[in-house]
Amino acid sequence: MEHKEDLNCSLVAIRRHGPMTLYQVADRLKMSYVRIKQIQDSAIKKIDKDEMRDELFVQEDGPF
């Protein structure tokens, strides 16, 4: 383990030390910055898509 103080876990590291840059996450996970950015972009698209779907089906009185 390279990050024993954080139990080799990015989530533990973020809770203990605050936010990390994509470069820091990539270094920690031994992945390229570009791949981390692709994963982030994909996650944001999914979140946006879910929010858009929720907005389409929610009326003032409640759902449906």
pLDDT for residue 47? 87
Residues in CB range of 23: below 8 A, 6 or more apart: 33
User: According to the model, what pLDDT value does residue 60 have?
Assistant: 57
The pTM assigned to this predicted structure is: 0.63
Q: Which residue has the higher pLDDT, 21 or 51?
A: 21
- At residue 24, the 3 state secondary structure works out as helix
Residues composing the chain: 64
Work out the percent of the chain whose per-residue pLDDT is above 90.
Answer: 25
pLDDT over threshold 60, residue 61: no
Mean pLDDT confidence for 11-24 = 86
Q: Rounded to whole angstroms, how far apart are CA atoms 37 and 24?
A: 12
3-class SS of residue 29: helix
Q: Count of CB atoms within 10 A of residue 14's CB?
A: 14
Other residues' Cβ atoms within 10 Å of the Cβ of residue 36: 19
